[in-house]
Structure 1
């Protein structure tokens, strides 16, 4: 995965994480402050922007003590999987391992697999993040099945005016200060891991005009970012789907869990590429939100998610819980961490 001279982490802002803050007005800009306790927030980009020298080294911050290894290892592909146990409404199924739940999601054979996550927050560094779990548990299963991976990072043209880029970086830092410092490094690691598996990684490449438009948006800069991320991801995915060498294989989009919504909330349609890519693929589109159980909090933002009222953290703590709220839409909640 090429490392740009100027790299901005584009957020999927919970709802980059999963869902925008419930307090955000419909169709308006999300709140600039992230909810306390690591709750999803419509304005929480995935990490801050590294400096040019940090990007060149592939790291945006000093390395912290790594969390323990991901305990739920991927099951052998040839092993017979026991039937999942029904666990309630919204098609809830409890699987012995996350790998089994992931295999169930892929049974429909999507052309586009749009993965959204709830970003890790500061103070959660001892718990393996969603990005790390996807990289270690799920990505190997996509080798030979997926042609390309679009990672929600920005690779800004170095010819863009430095002052404009700096202003956009400042907007992002204001809403990422509560996130774990390693988020961006793990996004970069995901791209490198994909390349090793023969899956071509791609970053978003906003033009200088698009960067200028974000600056001109002023107080609506976050909304402008959200719309641009959805637009650029859709354009990149459509181009990749049209490649002859990608025929019959999946294109993966990985970022926050707002942009992948196949049925966005009213007023937020421009923030999601889900409806457009679902139409282009003839419905061969899957929205998969990945949730680390320990990140779920008692807050308005989390309670606004459709699966939340049906999830009991005390039940099936050692299972991978999969909800299917709507056709082509899944939420996978990992077992409790070791």
Structure 2
């Protein structure tokens, strides 16, 4: 199946796609508006409802919310069932609070890896289907609207998804995180949160190979900042040591990985360490890609960590940031789930000749 142009969802019944992750809350509306906010689920879960209310109130009223999630895996929850139930309840409570405003009472559906949308009660009952579903939503929408035969590589802040697409469908039988880790379609490496000690055992410095300290002293984000791939964020202290995300502080964090600090390791030397860290991450992702990929069709690249994947020179590349625009592509699963639901709602209207709340 060849490449198809992206078409915006029809006007009238706006849908907001909501991707509730462990580190970010992301939103895309079918009217083209998008937003992403950092949200550390593991220590801010009690703020989820209020954050949803605050964020969603900034969008124009929508007739429906389509929700996908991965945040249920955060270790503030005993298990995935507890996490799914908590997130579902938080979304419904946010809707109730916003719904007190005139003409704003959204219909809510939760996406599952079965490719269906579920009401809140069903989502909690079918928690294994709803858990960790955002990759499936993105792959389904890409397969239907952008490239039916391709390999999707989506690199976010925490993970990399490598999904084969065939004949307009998701072409993998692996659905849970465990199954996908075993099958290598899920690589727990991203462009922000991955600890350096998860990527390398040793680093070369001044002609010597040093073992690294197995501590959360630095992350891949520090390597990207030192190398200029990611810009500095002096006001952002979401780092391993709680200090700003600047070149100088990132270099110092990397130096700690080999038992040193800024006194002994210059920014230029830290950059050489950063290259080794990045190369290791790229090798891990490429190894998984080689196990999944079938060398036919294009490679669809998504996510703000695309620099971690060097596309083979002989392959066509479709970059979602070009197809959708940078802001929406950063929230690609939200874009996907919004449009999947909007399309199904539209189809239901055509079948029944009237609005329906019973689409599943």
Structures share fold, TM-score greater than 0.5: no
Larger CA Rg, structure 1 vs 2? 2
Q: Where is the helix percentage greater, Structure 1 or Structure 2?
A: 2
Give me the TM-score of the superposition, normalised by structure 2: 0.27
Give me the TM-score of the superposition, normalised by structure 1: 0.28
